[in-house]
Amino acid sequence: MPTPIAPLPRRHLDPPIRQDWLDQWQDEIVDPDLPIVDPHHHLWDIPDWDGRYLLDELLADLRTGHNIVATVFLQCNSMHRAAGPEALQPVGETEFVNGIAAMSASGNYGPINVCAGIVGYADLRLGASVRDVLEAHIRAGGGRFRGIRHSTAWDATLPASSPVTPGLLADQTFREGFAQLAPLGLSFDAWMYHPQLKELTALARAFPDTQIVLNHIGAPLGVGPYASQRDEVFATWSASIRELATCPNVHVKLGGLGMGRYGNGFHEQPAPPSTEALAAAFRPYMLTCIEAFGAARCMFESNFPVDKGAYPYAAYWNACKHLTRDASPAERADLFSGTATRFYRVDRSQ
């Protein structure tokens, strides 16, 4: 691990959203009829941080030219309960999102099945007692709750987006909590940085019956001391990805490259990247994952609105379609909708 340095400012983690900058993107939509299930987006209303991104804002992105048929909400510490037992406060997020999903299911907002799956948060450091929290999420989810995400993303050179203990995946009490997922039919979304991927491989091998999906291609870092080591980072990351892919219970989400911590600098350009430029930046990372895991265990993800600081929603899907133009129809179907539908048991109809 690199020698710790002063934390980077927050702007390196999440570039701000500038709608006037995004509006400069004018590329033609690629393959507009291809069905897409977006398995990773957020919803929040945080005036002093990232502002509002609720159903109206999400639909404005979903309706920008691609055939989005359903989505999955991912935990983001939004709308936790303000009172009651601390362990149960995250259930408020599931209650909130299930309400959004019910609005969508009314049909009043169009045919897209928004939040057809919900991934929430439960503190697995509670050990076996976390089962009560998981069962509360299931009850609150209206048949849509699919799993949890407990972030373990930590690096000595980066500010943490949430409290994280290094080496958490190997902690005995954490694993006692993790063991509660599979019996309840729940999956685990893993969010971590590339130096931590071996820890996830060890966890996946210890719990072969628990379905796991790695978020954001495993976060090959490109800022701080990693900025001058991109070739070394890619080699380390790609070797870890290939090792992780030997675990049949692990899937991977292809996205998140708009976050500042990847060091791609899209947001620093005078205009959003073109379809071809974005595809070229994505290609070595996404194709490495597809070659290692196979299309049946890979799913494209928007990671909106986090990635919205780097490119428009339509640009992301255009780039993914462009870089998979040589894939077979069956492979493309898996990457854009099939894998996500199976993993999250998504109902793609209203």
pLDDT per 10-residue tile (average), the chain, 350 residues: 36 79 97 98 82 95 98 96 97 98 97 98 97 98 97 87 84 98 98 97 98 98 94 98 98 96 93 97 98 98 96 98 97 98 88
C-alpha to C-alpha distance for 56 and 165, rounded to whole angstroms: 36
Q: What is the pLDDT of residue 12?
A: 46
C-alpha to C-alpha distance for 98 and 73, rounded to whole angstroms: 10
Residue 74 Cα to chain centre, angstroms: 7
Q: Is 336 helix (H, G, I), strand (E, B) or coil?
A: helix
Q: What is the pLDDT of residue 49?
A: 60
Q: What is the pLDDT of residue 10?
A: 44
Please tell us whether the domain made up of 10-344 is placed in CATH 3.20.20.140.
yes
Q: What is the pLDDT of residue 47?
A: 72
Q: What is the pLDDT of residue 347?
A: 86
Beta carbons of 340 and 72 less than 8 angstroms apart:
yes
Q: What is the pLDDT of residue 46?
A: 81
Beta carbons of 11 and 316 less than 8 angstroms apart:
no
List the chain domain ranges.
Answer: 10-344
The reply to whether omega before 305 is within 30° of 0 (cis) is yes
Please provide the average confidence, as pLDDT, over all residues in the chain: 93
C-alpha to C-alpha distance for 44 and 38, rounded to whole angstroms: 17
